[in-house]
Amino acid sequence: MNPHHAGPRVVIGVGNDYRRDDGLGPLVVAALAGRQADDPRLSGVDLRVSDGEPTRLIDLWTGTDLAIVIDAVLDDNHHAGHRHELALDALDRLADDHSAGSHAISLGSTVALGQALGRLPRRLIVLAVSGTEFGFGQGLTPPVAAAVPAVIERACELVAEP
């Protein structure tokens, strides 16, 4: 465990790597897992992948001190590849229409459900990237792929914060 950090921390990559830009979350988590042994900031961090099914997401972050959710979003207001960082109090911006992929209930609704059940992490931060392609297929679109290194670095910074 990171010596500066008190409680459990989890990074959850939401998505499906056979649905183009929806594969962002799993790809970032795989990259974090690849560097976990060498980067002390990631020591003790639970790295998980989720398809976004709400009860599994809630289970993954219940009891954690910090949960970082990585997801791709549909977003008409920003260019593809635009990075968003949303804290818990701003998650109502994740309206239903912005959910991507094949999730039955949006991330915003999942957070609201977790709130109603008293099962939210102490801190919840969503690192999202605006995507364009969510149909069947492999590989991120170039703008989303270009955002990946910055998302990885930001996740590392956040888990290392005291």
Nearest residue to 148 (alpha-carbon basis) of 2, 24, 22: 24
Q: Indicate which single residue of 74, 113, 158, 160 sits in contact with other proteins (rule: CB under 8 A).
A: 113
Q: Indicate which single residue of 53, 122, 123, 148 sits in contact with other proteins (rule: CB under 8 A).
A: 53
CA distance 27 to 33: 10
Q: Per-residue x/- mask for other proteins, residues 126 to 145, rule CB under 8 A?
A: ---------xxx--------
DSSP string, 118-144: T---SEEEEEEEEES--SSBSS--HHH
Alpha helices in the chain (DSSP H): 24-35, 54-61, 107-116, 142-160
Number of residues that bind other proteins (CB under 8 A): 27
59 near other proteins, rule: CB under 8 A = yes
Summarize as ranges the residues that interact with other proteins (CB under 8 A): 16-18, 49-56, 58-59, 96-97, 102, 104-105, 109, 112-113, 116-118, 135-137
